[in-house]
Amino acid sequence: MEKINGTGVSPGIAIGKAFVIKKAEVAVSGILLKGENEVIANVAAFNNAIEVAVNELEVIKLSLAGTDFEILETQIELISDPQIAEDVIEKIQSERKTANDAVIEVIANVVEVFESMDDEYMRARTADIKDIGSRILKHLNNTKTNTARFKPDSIIIADDLSPSDTITMDIKHVNGFATRTGSKTSHAAIIAKAKGIPAVVGCGDSLSTIQNDDVIILDGTSGLLYIDPAEETINEFRLKSEIQKQQSEKLKALKNRPAITTDGKKVMLSANISGAADMDDVHENGGEGIGLFRTELLFMDRTSFPTEDEQFKFYKQAALQSKGKPVIVRTIDIGGDKQLPYFNIPAELNPFLGYRAIRICLDQTDLFITQLKAILRAGVFGDLLIMFPMISNIQEVRAAKNILEKAKEELLAENIPFKANMKVGIMIEIPSAAVTADILAKEVDFFSIGTNDLCQYTLAVDRMNEKITHLYDPFNPGVLRLINNILEQGRKHHIHVGMCGEMAGDPLAALLLLGMGLEEFSMSASSIPTIKNTIINHSEADAKQVYRAVMTMDSSDEITAYLKAQFV
């Protein structure tokens, strides 16, 4: 039996057979295009792939010097060669080849020509041709996982899963998933948790030893994978899984009990959702509201932006199904690791520091107004609040609020009913916002602390990079001081402060956050019963003691050891 160590991101035990998703395979399909529409679509896909590939090379080039820079220049020249484009398009149009097949064939021809040249320099260019071929194909075959192929009891083994792969996954056939890359707060991990699929990420290269149909035990709590385990190990884990299920059923029985400490302090336990489909889980686990409705998932898994009416229906459905509970709707947070196939953001060297979220919305105001109008309209059907992500300064808040007013004016002029006095809040997930919470508090009705990003930006640790996952630490005293400041300023300015980052659902953090004065904990619905269990079994006075002790400590090692000791 082989054992692989990764990061457990979604608890639970899964037993099943490996379904290995390979990186996009590049092979001639032999498929011939059927009609004119398919021809047009393939030409467009090819042109788009070239554009994205050139942009990507341009960005990489900026960071290079000397020979590397020249290689990139050559590649850009080759990839933009009109002859290559002409040959590919000719094959698509006249020979009815798919863009994929046409690119493979044209590149193979060019390689052959270059290989037969006398000039040594030119012969050496074959590597560049092959390289650009792979680059175009990579963008062309930006394929999604065909989840329909999953056999029952599959454990998905993949390099990485994009958020849209994860949301479209047919979970009735998937027992768990393990990926080579990723970390606790990568979006695929968050979605897995929301769907209750045990998951382990950041397993590294050892994952490549797994073959299709290998028997796997995946422990999403400890982050371990067991490959081809003995029968008795399987039985041992089946038993463990049964016990975990019973414990979780027991905790679910707390569903209707409010989250009140033994000395009478009430806190609100809410859920993070991606659509109305998640709402049943929220009610079942006793969620009192939605602290974060991630709307961008509506924008994924499609080929164009949803219209105002499509969005309106989506938000209205969530509003209706919320049964009167408050729902914080976050405006679109694309960029970073959340890319849309139809919205071409040129490749960036630092996507998490780049063109993302509110930055896109303030730049492309049409897109923003459409979403705001849809949310305002849906507000007639439930207690919706609006929240802007990735705020770094007060100008952005004011600009976003101005656009919100414009959206209202448009709805008024169109005579369409909407909720005029919808509360407006912001995510505090950038250190500058955390430090200037006193300034920002004057502009908004509420804050929600996004620890996933706050942690990555404060500690300069990419939340997606498994190599540095040990540095991604919400218990770092620097992060805790920022959170404490946000809560203090919220109290001082009498605005509601919640937390919707993953830390809010971490049992180890619950007492500390309660002691700090957090009013709303918003998390994956499945985490609510565990956090509630902690709250109802402790007093606020004890939690304050924990908070005071933690704030005197120097390191996260000391802090986490102390917090663990509170539960023994």
| Residues taking part in catalysis | 187, 500
Of 131, 219, 308, 333, the one binding ligand PEP (CB under 6 A) is 333
First to last CA, the chain: 33
Q: Min. distance of Cβ 333 from ligand PEP in angstroms?
A: 5
456-475 binders of ligand PEP (CB under 6 A): none
Q: Concatenate the DSSP letters of all residues of 21-42 into one string.
A: E-S--------B--SHHHHHHH
Residue 522 binds: one of Mg ion, ligand PEP, none (C-beta under 5 to 8 A by kind): none
Q: Which helix (H) or strand (E) holds 111?
A: helix 99-115
**3-state SS, residue 528:** helix
223 or 450, CB closer to Mg ion? 450
Paired with 226 in beta bridges are 3, 217
Binding footprint of ligand PEP, residue count (CB under 6 A): 10
Considering the complex, what minimum distance in angstroms separates the CB of residue 434 from ligand PEP?
Answer: 12
Helix pair angle (99-115, 82-95), 10° resolution: 130
* Closer of 453 and 520 to Mg ion (Cβ): 453
Nearer to ligand PEP, 287 or 450 (CB): 450
Q: State the minimum distance, in angstroms, from the CB of residue 505 to ligand PEP.
A: 11
Among 55-63, 125-133, 150-158, 445-453, the segment contacting ligand PEP (CB under 6 A): 445-453
Nearer to ligand PEP, 87 or 462 (CB): 462
CA-CA distance, 271 to 188, in Å (whole number)?
A: 17
Task: Choose the contact partner of 451 out of ligand PEP, Mg ion, none; CB within 5 to 8 A by kind.
Answer: ligand PEP
CA 194 to chain centre: 12
Q: How far is the CB of 156 from Mg ion (least distance, A)?
A: 25
Residue (308 or 333) nearer to ligand PEP, CB: 333
- Would you count residue 509 as binding ligand PEP (CB under 6 A)? no
CA-CA distance, 361 to 332, in Å (whole number)?
8
Q: How far is the CB of 309 from ligand PEP (least distance, A)?
A: 25
> Least distance in Å: CB of 452 to Mg ion?
5
Find the binder of ligand PEP among 286, 477, 501, 517 (CB under 6 A): 501
Answer left, alpha or beta for residue 126, where phi above 0 means left and psi between -120 and 50 means alpha.
Answer: alpha
Residues of the shown chain interacting with Mg ion in the complex, contacts defined by CB under 5 A: 429, 450, 453
Cβ nearer to Mg ion, comparing 87 with 333: 333
For residue 319, give the amino acid letter.
A
Among positions 165, 278, 453, 506, the unique one binding ligand PEP when judged by CB under 6 A: 453
Identity of the residue, 135 or 294, whose beta carbon is nearer to ligand PEP in the bound complex: 294
**520: helix, coil or strand?**
strand
- In this complex, which beta carbon is closest to ligand PEP, that of residue 332 or of residue 397? 332
Taking the least distance from each CB to ligand PEP, the nearer of 132 and 188 is 188
Q: Please tell me whether residue 163 binds ligand PEP under the rule CB under 6 A.
A: no
Q: Which of 451, 476, 489, 556 binds ligand PEP (CB under 6 A)?
A: 451
Q: Which does 520 bind (CB under 5 to 8 A by kind): Mg ion, ligand PEP, none?
A: none
Residue 44 CB, nearest approach to Mg ion (Å): 33
Q: C-alpha angle 533/469/352, rounded to 5°?
A: 100
Is-contact 276 317, C-beta < 8 A? yes
Q: Where are the alpha helices (DSSP H) in 358-393?
A: 358-363, 365-378
Q: Which one-letter DSSP state was computed for residue 17?
A: E
* DSSP-derived secondary structure for 139-195: HHT-PPP-GGGPPTTEEEEES---HHHHHH--GGGEEEEEESS--TTSHHHHHHHHH
d(CA 474, CA 8): 16
**Nearest-approach distance from CB 189 to ligand PEP, in angstroms:** 10
Q: Is 452 in the site for ligand PEP (CB under 6 A)?
A: yes
d(CA 8, CA 204): 13
* Residues across the chain: 568
| Spatial distance between the Cα atoms of 434 and 440, rounded to a whole number of angstroms | 9
Q: What is the closest distance, in whole angstroms, from the C-beta atom of residue 349 to ligand PEP in the complex?
A: 20
**Is 261 or 451 the residue whose CB approaches ligand PEP more closely?**
451
Round to whole Å and give the CA distance between 474 and 508.
11
> What does 184 bind: Mg ion, ligand PEP, none (CB cut-off 5 to 8 Å by kind)?
none
3-state helix, strand, coil in the chain (%, to 5): 55, 15, 30
131 binds ligand PEP (CB under 6 A): no
CA distance 442 to 538: 33
Interaction between residue 505 and ligand PEP (CB under 6 A): no
Window contacting ligand PEP (CB under 6 A); options: 58-66, 237-245, 314-322, 448-456? 448-456
- Binding test (CB under 6 A) with ligand PEP, winner from 195, 294, 316, 377: 294
- Rounded CA-CA distance 512/556 in Å is 13
429 binds ligand PEP per the rule CB under 6 A: yes
Cβ–Cβ under 8 Å, residues 45 and 261: no
Nearest alpha-carbon partner for 341 in 3, 21, 44, 23: 44
CB of 397 to Mg ion, least distance (A): 16
Distance (Å, whole) CA 379 – CA 312: 9
Span of 223-231, 320-328, 363-371, 444-452 interacting with ligand PEP by CB under 6 A: 444-452
11 near ligand PEP, rule: CB under 6 A: no
Tell whether residue 184 is a contact of ligand PEP (CB under 6 A): no
If you search the block for the tokens 């002409």, which residue do you land on? Answer: 86
- Using CB under 6 A as the binding rule, whether residue 500 contacts ligand PEP is answered as yes
The closest of 506, 451, 17 to 221, measured between CA atoms, is: 506
**Segment near ligand PEP (CB under 6 A); pick from 67-75, 399-407, 434-442, 449-457:** 449-457
Binding residues for ligand PEP, per CB under 6 A? 292, 294, 333, 429, 450-453, 500-501
